[in-house]
Amino acid sequence: MARYAHITGWGMAIPERILTNFDLEKMVETSNEWIVSRTGISERRIADDSESSASLAVQAALKALEVANVHPLDVDLIIVATSSPEHIFPATACIVQDQIGAKRAGAFDLLAACSGFIFALDQASSAIRSGSVNTVLVIGAETLSRFVDWADRNTCILFGDGAGAFVLQASEEPGGVLSAVMRSDGSGAELLTLAAGGSKLPASLTTVQNGQHYIRMNGREVFRFATRVMTQSTLEVIQKANLSLQDIQYIIPHQANQRIIETAAKNLNLPPEKIISNIQRYGNTSTASIPIATCEAIQEGKLKAGDRVVFVAFGGGLTWGAALVQWSGPLPAKKRVYPRRYRWFARLRSRLLRLWRRLEGLLWGKQAG
């Protein structure tokens, strides 16, 4: 029997703090008019000290589970696509797994910069179709504000924080993720980087003094690359599913720059109402931009069961890709579950496990040594 991977739940989480273009005017030599005309961005959200990529990811994941009516114990796999993880390791996905109490789930992070959510969606749907898992949480979560050089006007105007999540579930009903493409070109690696803090350039006084722990970007080159691959991969993913552009109701592109989105729409000869954009309010939230835009499109009544939608993204690496989805909505369920209420139990479980590990160490640690 054929298996399909349906998107059955969605959720988003954004910090409350808003940073407007007028605030940025006081920080760097720029203007609201310049930012709006060159990028389409008016404001972005910035995480406060109590928030992180994992905390935003947890909020988005719990909302998505609630929409899908899926209990955390039924999640088989958690993939967090992020370029601003909590740590180099452990994976942010493991922190999410612990905090939502997804006891049975494998968890890992995926790094493909702003294309990460598409890559994660492809991996999740392939795992479901192969029969290896039934239920996957795919999350895009970022606090890129922590890696932005607030004195660099080329980059600090662009990025914002947030998270978005999808629940994918197996079903024999045709639909869900119909096709996907993932591409990369490492010869463009230096066009968008966060150079230090890895094994090549470990953190040192010099890397800090040289500003190598900040995002650096060649905006013009990235712009040229983006407009080319957005069009290319949209057409490719549609062709792969044996469909044509006329069969597609919506395109939900990575929200990096309104001009990139409009150029792609023009190249594809698509009317603006088919293209979802909310970049004005959030800026570029990297891996989170597509699920956040999807959540808002649903709130606005734009995406309905049966609609075909193309998600398309590009990012550092260079990476790019697209996924074509026949939209489904939650699967029919016998009883209601409450993932958010389960959180207190997840917290308790986590504390007990930590305590148990310490006790074990005290009781048997010496023997093992």
Site residues (CB under 6 A) for ligand COA?
30, 34-35, 38-39, 114, 153-154, 157, 192, 217, 219-220, 222-223, 226, 256-257, 284, 315
- What three-state secondary structure class fits 13? strand
Please report how close the Cβ of residue 94 comes to ligand COA at its closest, in angstroms: 26
Q: Could you confirm whether 242 is annotated as catalytic? A: no
Residue with smallest beta-carbon separation from ligand COA: 219
Q: Give the separation between CA 360 and CA 365, rounded to whole angstroms.
A: 7
> 46 or 222: whose CB is closer to ligand COA?
222
Q: What are phi and psi of 356, to 5 degrees?
A: -60, -40
Please report how close the Cβ of residue 325 comes to ligand COA at its closest, in angstroms: 21
User: For the purposes of burial, counting CB atoms within 10 Å of the CB of 291, is it exposed (0-12), middle (13-18) or buried (19 or more)?
Assistant: buried
Q: Which residue has the tokens 């996905």?
A: 93
> 163 or 217: whose CB is closer to ligand COA?
217
Please report how close the Cβ of residue 220 comes to ligand COA at its closest, in angstroms: 5
Q: What is the DSSP string of 185-222?
A: -GGGGGGEE--SSSSSS---HHHHHTTTTS-EE-HHHH
Among 254, 257, 278, 295, the one annotated catalytic: 254
CB 154 within 8 A of CB 219: yes
Among 94, 114, 156, 295, the one annotated catalytic: 114
Please report how close the Cβ of residue 88 comes to ligand COA at its closest, in angstroms: 21
> 80 or 144: whose CB is closer to ligand COA?
144
Q: What are phi and psi of 346, to 5 degrees?
A: -60, -40
> 220 or 266: whose CB is closer to ligand COA?
220
> 133 or 156: whose CB is closer to ligand COA?
156
Among 69, 134, 278, 284, the one annotated catalytic: 284
Please report how close the Cβ of residue 262 comes to ligand COA at its closest, in angstroms: 12
Q: Could you confirm whether 284 is annotated as catalytic? A: yes
Q: What is the DSSP string of 327-359?
A: ---PPP-SS---TTTTHHHHHHHHHHHHHHHHH
Residues marked as catalytic: 114, 254, 284
